[in-house]
Amino acid sequence: MNLREFERKYFEWFPNYEDMLRTYASCETSATALYDGDVACCFGAVPIWKGVAEAWILTSYIVERNPISLTRGALRYFDNIATDMQLHRLQIVVDGSNLLALRWAKALKFEHEGLLRGYGPDGSNHYMLARYY
């Protein structure tokens, strides 16, 4: 998978990131989106407690070239897992400098809740966003 710059950073910051992804991938809610046989992204939702989960995603550069089909698929996915997991809240944390991810989160109906100052391992600001069901 040809990861985008933002996703590659996580492998540098977290020595056990691959193990964490394996754990996430073992959840029933995890999926992989393909485009012409290549991995566009891997994603899922991890339960926090009853009714609340946090979504995660790893994207390749394919997503930048195919935003409409990916967005439609992601909207269906989030609606389906919200029902399957009986969620009233689905949250995400997005790097404040990842403008594409912030725009995409808005298109996916996530609402900004707040700024997490100095949240990133490099001291970068992040945003908490959520969808409510």
Yes or no: say if 124 and 115 are a contact pair by the CB < 8 Å rule. Answer: no
Q: Which two tokens stand for residue 46?
A: 């991890």
Yes or no: say if 33 and 73 are a contact pair by the CB < 8 Å rule. Answer: yes
pTM of the model: 0.86
Identify the pLDDT of residue 6: 83
Identify the pLDDT of residue 51: 98
Q: In angstroms, rounded to a whole number, what is the distance separating the alpha carbons of residues 102 and 129?
A: 9
pLDDT digit string (tens) for the chain, length 133 residues? 889 888 888 888 888 988 888 888 888 889 888 889 999 888 999 999 999 999 998 889 898 888 888 889 899 999 999 999 999 999 999 999 999 899 999 999 999 999 999 999 899 999 999 999 9
Identify the pLDDT of residue 23: 87
Q: Write out the residue range of the structural domain in which residue 84 sits.
A: 5-132
Identify the pLDDT of residue 69: 86
Q: In angstroms, rounded to a whole number, what is the distance separating the alpha carbons of residues 107 and 36?
A: 24
Q: In angstroms, rounded to a whole number, what is the distance separating the alpha carbons of residues 120 and 95?
A: 8
CATH number of 64's domain: 3.40.630.30
Identify the pLDDT of residue 21: 85
Count the domains in the chain: 1
